[in-house]
Amino acid sequence: MGLGLAVVAVAFPSSALAVGTETPPSQQPAAAPAPSDTSSFDAAAAVDRARDLIDRELYAQALATLDAVVSRNPGNADALNYLGFASRKLGRYQDAMRYYTRALTIDPHHLGALEYLGELYVEMGDLESARRNLDLLADLCPEGCEPLDELREVLAAHEN
């Protein structure tokens, strides 16, 4: 079954975008050290380090690590997805939207990006778009999957 992914442009009220757009210097990500030999850079290991930072809620540090991955490999959908996640957790909704959209442009069936974009829509109050992502996940995971279950749970909690 071929699934088409329509990336929806969302117009944000200026008040919604003002939340979290100013980043205090203490939360600015530190520049990730660039290896002198880029051929030795292990993107998968860097993404794993960033996921560990995210698990510890060190979102600004995760952004710096993920920026290093994307600067070397702009087509890394996993890194873009986690950039979106960390940005969303820091309240940077515009950045999160941009990263999720880029990840889905690269891989329209990226389950994590579909889930997290759906969660972003819920946080922004766009439940219709979140439900569309839920429908896409249901089509991609007819036997069920964690991203489908997670987004379903977030939507249900918000609707009740």
pLDDT in the model for residue 39: 56
77 and 113 assigned to the same domain: no
75 and 97 assigned to the same domain: yes
Residue 5 lies in a domain: no
97 and 47 assigned to the same domain: yes
Residue 75 lies in a domain: yes
Q: What's the CATH number where 53 sits?
A: 1.25.40.10
- For residue 65, the enclosing domain spans 42-108
117 and 128 assigned to the same domain: yes
Average pLDDT, stretch 53-79? Answer: 97
97 and 75 assigned to the same domain: yes
103 and 143 assigned to the same domain: no
Residue 98 lies in a domain: yes
Cβ-Cβ contacts under 8 Å for 62 (sequence gap 6 or more): 50, 51, 53, 54, 82, 86
Number of structural domains (the chain) is 2
pLDDT in the model for residue 41: 82
Among 34-43, 50-59, 112-121, 143-152, the minimum mean pLDDT is found in 34-43
Report the amino acid identity of residue 139: D
User: Residues 9-36: pLDDT tens digits?
Assistant: 333 333 333 333 334 433 444 444 444 4
How far apart are alpha carbons 93 and 14 in whole angstroms?
Answer: 12
Question: In the Cβ-directed half-sphere of 25, how many Cα atoms lie within 13 Å?
Answer: 0
Q: Rounding to the nearest 10 degrees, give the CA dihedral for residues 5, 117, 47, 70.
A: 70
Residue 77 lies in a domain: yes
Mean confidence (pLDDT) of the chain = 83
Report the amino acid identity of residue 15: S
Residue 136 region by backbone torsions, left for phi larger than 0, else alpha for psi between -120 and 50, else beta = alpha
CB atoms within 10 A of CB 147: 22
Among 16-30, 61-75, 98-112, the minimum mean pLDDT is found in 16-30
**Percentage of the chain exceeding pLDDT 70:** 75
114 and 103 assigned to the same domain: no
Six-digit token string for 123: 């946080």
Residue 83 lies in a domain: yes
